[in-house]
Amino acid sequence: MDKEKSIFRGRGGGGRGQAALCTWKRKAAQSVLVQLFSHVDDPFLDDPLPREYVLYLRPSGPLQNQLSHFWQQSRVTCGKNKAHNIFPHITLCQFFMCADQKVEALCEALQATVQQWRGRFPSPLPLELYTSSNFIGLFVEEQVADILKQFAADFAAEAVRKAEVHVEPHKKQLHVTLAYNFPSDHLPSLEKLAKGIEVKLGCDWLAVLFSRDIRFANHETLRVMYPYMPQNDDELELVPGDFVFMSPVDQNSTSEGWVYGTSLATGLSGLLPENYVSLADESDTWVFHLYSSQPDIHINNNSTDSDRAQILSRRGVIAAAGASISPAAALQTTGGHSRQPKRTLFVCRHGERMDVVFGKHWLSLCSDSKGRYVRSNLNMPPSLPLWGGQRDYDMDAPITVFGSTQARLVGEALLESNTAIDFVYCSPALRCVQTAQNILKGLQQDSKLKVRVEPGLFEWTKWVSGSSMPAWIPPTDLAAAHFSVDTTYRPLIPVSKLTVSESYENYMSRSYQVTKDILSDCKNTGNNVLIVAHASSLEACTRQLQGRSPQSAKDFIQVVRKIPYLGFCSCEEQGDTGVWQLVDPPILPLTHGPNHSFDWRETLLQE
């Protein structure tokens, strides 16, 4: 959502005939016609009902990453509760009405308020955890909350002046709701998860406007999972990616296994098979409005005061919580409704490995006469996990100190770009596990996210030297050695299924299948998946995902040779079509070169 083009959309139901032409003016004429024709049979096409709007403060950055992790884990642990219907936020006003033709003026009112408040927000924004029998939230300290309420009051005044819209600022205690309306026996688990949120982490607070269709405010929101063509006149056509609004009142006369609902995309109503849809969040169908055509500004907590002042003066954002309240970018819309955040697969190669830097006999350089590990170079790690145990370092080399640094740099870059990672999978090779761990350290998520060790992500076994597979450290032993790994994870492809010298076709098929299974397992529980594996994985895990056939083995090897340590790529799903496409990664590339061993005696004492 951070850098999308500004789009102001009218109501997603009533008034579409007029609103599509006036508020979609930034889109091409063809897109407008598509929007109109999709609603040609919509009985509410000329309904004059306005949409409902609300002003939120929405977090981003490190705190948002932790809140997203809480959202995900609380759903997995306790199931969905009422808080999951809307993303994490602080409510600044009550829902209010605004006519379609006043939307741009309303957004200008918010922009004007932001300009007036530039530099006046407290830093940081203090939050305190509160729990009760059926509610858990993070409350804003009272004096600071009064300042935020004044900001909302000023926006309300601007909304009246510019858009003739009445806005009622929120009068209750300001807070981020974490969970509510949940079974009492879920309280201990939810409270434990909530206590793991580090409320003092840096955060960019975004002042954003959202709108919803008032006709469906009290309906259940369903996501269409499978296509369905009507067999009778009273049935509704289903298109994957669309949403259906379902009123509990309308279900009394429906047959078992069928529900009655209204399509967001077309506005038509009818019966539909219940097993073709799944429960979605209310906010999935809200429209995200932008009040400025300028891109988002996110100020990193590591920025200096002069850096912040320069950015603030250039872009006119409001300092808050050690970061900023900035213009939020609009969520692009397709077919007349808001588009869901795209699912993204990140694939990353491991960091610099010991046996490449110090040679295949590197073990002899760091072992004393009693077989103990001794560091003989600054680029060797101070210690190695389970040294002296049943380890196979000859076959499973660790990464160097610089390899760890490379990985942390990538994690820090992901953090700075506000990229949330929901799941991390890695090859069982120690170098991959260590790299994943250090990426999470850079992301400040090493105590929150657990790495899932998946043997199916190991490289082409033809490249394994010897007649057997490496003796990888089991996840339980890795956890005992303080690695953040998920010991409950059950591999998609167990170690026993891997054989030495597999064919190229088998490797490509294995990589494609395990990647598809990973994405399938993570669907609907997280948008961003990170795979940390091998140089070959960037090609093997993404090529067939894009619908492209594997290259020849010879061409494949040439591609792999060009992928450096911490080589990183991004692959996005195009809607709910199952089609994926490589896109620009959210971080810059990491360039580094070889550095041979330096002996000052041999170099500086030569005659």
Instruction: Specify binding-site residues for substrate.
Output: 431
- Binding site per annotation, positions: 431
- The DSSP code for 241 is T
b/e map 365-380, b = 16+ CB within 10 Å: ebbeeeeebeeeeebb
Are the C-beta atoms of residues 91 and 138 closer than 8 Å to each other?
A: no
Q: Of the residues 349, 353, 391, 510, which is catalytic?
A: 349
H/E run at residue 17:
helix 16-23
- Which uninterrupted H or E stretch holds 41? none
DSSP string, 442-497: HTT-TTT--EEE-GGGS--GGG--SSS---PPPHHHHHHTT--B-TT---SS-GGG
Concerning whether 490 is annotated as a catalytic residue, the answer is: no
First to last CA, the chain: 64
349 flagged as catalytic: yes
Q: Which of 350, 391, 510, 543 is catalytic?
A: 350
Q: Determine the Cα–Cα distance for residues 114 and 366; give it in Å rounded to an integer.
A: 59
Rg (CA), the chain: 27
Query: Is 534 part of the annotated catalytic residue set?
Result: yes
Q: Peptide bond before 122: cis, by omega within 30 degrees of 0?
A: no
Among the listed residues 39, 353, 391, 534, the single catalytic one is: 534
Torsions phi, psi for 116 (to 5 deg): -65, -30
What are the structure tokens assigned to 276, written together? 């073709």
Query: How is 193-221 classified by DSSP, letter by letter?
Result: HHHT--TTS--EEEEEEEEE-GGGTTSEE
Residues 270-308 as b or e (16 or more Cβ within 10 Å = b): bbbebebbeebebbbbbbbbbbbebbbbbbbbebeeeeb
Element holding 295 (H helix, E strand):
none
Residue 79: which region, alpha, beta or left (left: phi > 0; alpha: psi -120 to 50)?
Answer: left
- Residue 499 is classified by DSSP as -
Give the catalytic positions in this structure: 349-350, 534
